[in-house]
Each structure stands twice: as C-alpha cells, then as structure tokens.
Structure 1
C-alpha cells in the first residue's frame, strides 16, 4: 500500500520508513503544501478547504445564501457594521442546493476576530450556511478534502519519501540501472491523471526474476479494469508514500494508490517499501470482495475533513485491519490483512500462540502502539467484515466534524450532508433502493 506500510516476503521485517504516518510533522506535509494558496485554479472545487499557511495575511471563508432579493445586501451589511473590508469576493450557484448561491470572500487577517461575529450573524440573522473558515485551526476550520474524484490529481504526486529517490540503505541505492528504472516508474505516476489509461510497462528480464508469476508481471491497467467490474475499486499509479490523510481520501472514492515498480532483484524476498508484489498479492484480492471493499471505503469516508488527531487514529485502525487484520470464519481465525498475506513469515507467526489476539474495538484499537521492525505482538480479531464495518461506522460518528458525507457513485463526487436539501436527496435515493428491494422480495414469494 502506497500510503501506510507494506510487508516483506520473508521473515525480515519492515524499515522505519513504513511508519511515517506516526510523525505528525510529516503526516500532512503533502496536503498542506498543495493547499497553501487559495488563489490557485480549481481551489474551490471542494466545499471544504484546508487552512492555508497564511503567509499573505488573508482570511477566507465561503457562505451560501438563498436566492432572494436583498440577501447579499443584508450579508454585506454585517461586514460593514463590524468594519471589515472585503479584499475579494466571488459567487457561484451552489452545487448542493439549486435554491442557493455560494460566496467566497477574503478579508485582511486583522479582521479575524470580528469575523466571528459576522459568521454568527450569517447563521442566526440571515440563515446562511457558512461552510468553512481558513483561520489558524479555529473551531470552524475543516481540513481540505477532495470533493470530486478528479481532485485526487491535486495530491497524488505529493509523496513523502522514495519515488525515484532512494535511501542509502535501500538495496538498489548503488545500482544506477535500478535508480534510472525507478525514475521511469516515477515519471509515469507523476504524469498520470484521472480517467487516463495506466501506461503499460515492459518489465525487464531481471525484474521478472522476482518471480511474481511464470511469464510476466500483471499490468495495473488490467487489474484496475477487473476490479472495477467486481466492486468499483480502481488502481491509480503513485510514485511513493502518500500522507495517511491523502491515502485514506483515495479510498473514499474507491481508488487505491498503487506502486508500479518492483523490488531490487538482489533481494527478491525483501523490500523496505511497498512494491507491486505487495500491492497485487496483498491488497488487490481483497478489494475484489464487496464486503471488504465497502469496509475500506468506510474508513476512507470517515477520514474526510477529520482533524489531524483522528486521522492518526483512523490510520492506526487501518493498520490493524486492512494491513494486519485477523477475522473469524466459523471456528477458525484467519488472516486478511495485506501485510500478512504478502509476508509468509508473519503469516505463519500470527496464527501461533506467540502474539496476543484481542477483539477488534476501534475505540481501543486506535490507541494501540505498534512496532515497525518486528512482528506485531498484538493483533485484533474481527467477528466478521460486517461487524467490523458497523463498528467503524460508530467510531466515525464521534469524529468532530460539522457534517456527514456520502459517496455518489453515479457522479463520482462526495456529497456533504449539511443541509436539508442534501438529506432529502439522500432519503429519495434510499427510498428508491428500498422500493427495488421490496419488489424483488415480492417476486420471490
């Protein structure tokens, strides 16, 4: 997996780079850098924006008003009464409610305190919807998250490590041919955009020596196409490790960021980073399962707009489920985590009496510390995927964000459920699905 960790194909364990998600300073470096400038083209494609690293001294917010005579005048009067000078204003029809308009405004940072009173006035006096504020992590600030599947293009190249650069302890560090080859893979990922065909790679004889299969290494495009016919999941090439926030955001759209390169041929049984063997042997088979695909997407959706501390908790939950999860099947306990399925050493170990097996409870699991250079001393066992999904849903409900979200598979957009119109649309959709279900049940009688 290109966002969290990976498993080796031997008893050797993972390098410290695997554990990047535990370091907060690095965890969100990617999306902070990408969203530091609200003026960039396309920055308003999402209803929620990450606060900028405010070097310009500008504070921004977006609010929506009903389409009625004098609505904007009333709103602007609130700014005037507090002595706030607008440095920028623009409008657009609301994408969430056809009866509203959205207004993006910028004010000088010195007006930040007075802006609190204006926001209260917009909400109470004019019944306006204030979607976000970009102000030094104040209570109204919501981290940016992708609203449309094409928004994944904005951070897919914001990798934290590896890519075409290798650490000194990497098996291929002193191999100029391998380093040049890695740059080719990195360029493919950097130039890829959503909906494009994933470029096919002609793997060399030395790369094939790693023995993925007898005659060749499968192509990401072929695997991605097959996954879409199974569960709607698709693969997207990535050059290296993403921040945990960015990687989880991809799962919300049923997109798995996958590496395309393969480990160095000198150590076919070990890799200090995720490679295509780990991705295709460990992760992909489970994404073809509808229940597991839904479970992964639930974690992704829970991450959208979540505070940093909850991103770390969700990442830990992901670690002990999707990467190193165990699950009951009848009277047996079986492994389903990708880190176990692609590591025969730990796969054997996890089912012995050496590690401690605990029931999967997200509230407790998210607090568990874990080693990164040895086998896990603790694993969490889910009663079933359905039980795990329900528990993750309950856990997500306590995340302090002022809205809920759902993924619209038809439009490939995230719908923010923060107004009555959105809730009505959701109710209509559910009603239609229930009608189909009832009709099918009647025909089976």
Structure 2
C-alpha cells in the first residue's frame, strides 16, 4: 500500500471521518439535555428516560471490540461505511419513535452503528495520513472529539429552542447521507485478513463489558449498590474466562497480544487514568457551580467551556509536535499540567469568581490537549498495521471505561462525604492524572 493518501483525497477522507465521529460523539451528549422533554412527550418517568441513554452506551461498549475485529477481517472502510449507514438509518428511526420501547431499541441499533464508526476511525487515520504525519492526523481527530463534546449541550439547546426533540436525531440523516457518499469515494481500501468472526469471543466480550458498565452505572445510583456489586462480580468471572480464551487465539478479539507489548499496555493504563480524571471533574464541577455557587445552567455551561475549548485548540498542535518530539514525553508533560490544574481547582476556595474558575479549567484543558494526541499516536502506532483495528477498538474502550470509573468515583464521594466534596474529588482526579503521567513516562523505557 502507498504511504497515506494524496490530496485532495486525504482531505475528503478525513472529512467523512470528522462528520461521522462528530455525529457519534454528539449523540452521546445531546440526548441528556432532551431527557425531560422525551419523558414528558412519551409519558414516562425520569428513571425510565435513563434507558434512552443507557441503551446507546451499552450497545457501543459491548460492540467496539467485535466490530474492530470485523474491521481487521473485512477491511476498515467496509466496517466504517456500514456502521455509518446503520447509525444514519437508526437516527431516522429514533426521530420517529413514539414509545420508550421503540426508542430504546432504535438507540441500541444506533449504538451499534456508532461503534462501527468509533472502532476503526483511528485505524483509518493511520492509512489516510503518511507515517510521518500520523501525529497530525491523530491530533485532528482529537480536535473533532473535543469540539463535539464541548458543543453537545449548546447544540442540543439550540435545536430544542426551535424544534421538537426528534430533531436531535433527524439532523443526523442528511449529514450521514453526505458522509456516506464521500466515504464511498474517498476512504482508502485497507488490507483484509479474512479471519472468521469468533462468535463465542463476541458473546464473552458482551457479557464482560456489558455487565461491567451496567454495574458501574448501578453503583452510581443511590440504593442500587448491591445490584452494581453483583454485576461487577459477574463481569469479573466472565472477564477471566474471556481473557483465558483470548490468550490461546492467534488473533484475539480482545487484543491480549497487543497488551503484552509494554508500550501499548502503558498507553491503555494512561488513557484510562486520564479519562477517569477528566470525567470526575466534568461530573462534579456542574454540581459545585449550581448548588454551591448558585449559578444557572447556562452560566454553568459557559464556565465549563474553557476546558474543552483549550483542549480543542491544543490537540492539533500537540499532534504535530508528536511527529518531532517523543510523544511519551509530551504525554507526561500534558498529564502533569492537568494534575496542576486540578490541584488549583481543589484549592480555589469556596466562593471563586468566574475568572478564577475559567483560567484554572483552561490549564486543565491545556494539559489534556497536550496529552491526548501523543497518547493516541503511541497507542495506534505501537501496533502492527494489520492489527490497527484491535488497537483502535481498545483505545475507544479504554476511554469509555475511564469515563465510567470517574463517574462512579464521584457518585461514591457524593454518597459518603457531606462536605468539601469538590475538593476531595478534584484531589483524587489530580492523583490519577499524576499516576497516568508516571505510566506515560515509563513508555520511554518500554520503547527502548
């Protein structure tokens, strides 16, 4: 294969990646804003509306690694294009749902489609950009994710101000159709291993990660701790069986072969720790702003903006630098800056001004942006090109696990601590960031 795509094909190929990834990330965020409207329109309780979110999250989680395996087998373009088509059709179904059951089922299908996109997007970037510019490609991808995450609540609010909640899903249809046309012409055809799909591995994967994420979500709900513990225990048992089976396979669905590479394993640990730290701050700070400082929802959204905005500005620059500076060094620097920002948040006092909050969150965003692109470059670059799908799938899985673990930690602190909750949570997050920085630094030795 040639080393990357020529322009303008490279531009159009990345454009379809950006469109599909934006839709997948936005869809995970914007629906939260619409839950009250959905509940009222479908005549369901607030507790029932959570299934609209959980159905999507669980579908994505349990299908990332199987779809990454399919991508390795049939080619990343086919997996990506099919996932995007499924996501687009399911979005139309969501927009026409008139019951909780139909909407939840459509969200499950939509989650499978999103997983088809997310499981191989970094793998495709590896074939779109030349090897010498992989950091740039990964940086642009991080930019798309950061901007989409930051824009989610604002986009949802804007759509809901002029239309019904169904429009949150309907807007995906024309965007998806456009991306499908571009993808068919511009995405590179990648090598296909032709390996047979392992149904048993897919089943063990679904039980392990499905039970784990469901258990973590249950732990974060007051009064459901026992159920959460049971689900996590089930995940642990099946996880052991899953790992033991995968170790015997030549090309496993769970990339234990890649996890034996110290640099890859350290990159996964670094990713989980960093996203857990970020998630803890993202979940806890809105409560502090609204309940302790008395800020409105709109003001809270604005106060949270400096973090993702700075990440979006920094990620492409860090990606480009990672092609010239050892990426493990950039990762350690970024995570150390993130830890410093979290410590500054923990020590900002009980009544900080908007400026006091803003510059501290900007430091956090700066650190996370410096870290994210180099880390993803190491993670995908340390795997053989024919195993890019497995590396891409584990990268997305590590992000989801980190975010879920961070949210659970916040819920536990809220449940057992009565005062200084934000200080405790951001201090724990800073410690996690420092541990992740240490793991990132160890990759220098692993590479040698």
- After TM superposition, the score normalised by the length of structure 2 is 0.27
Q: Work out which structure has the larger RCO, using CA pairs closer than 8 Å and 6 or more positions apart in sequence.
A: 2
Structure (1/2) with the larger helix percentage: 2
Bigger share in strand: 1
Larger Rg: 1
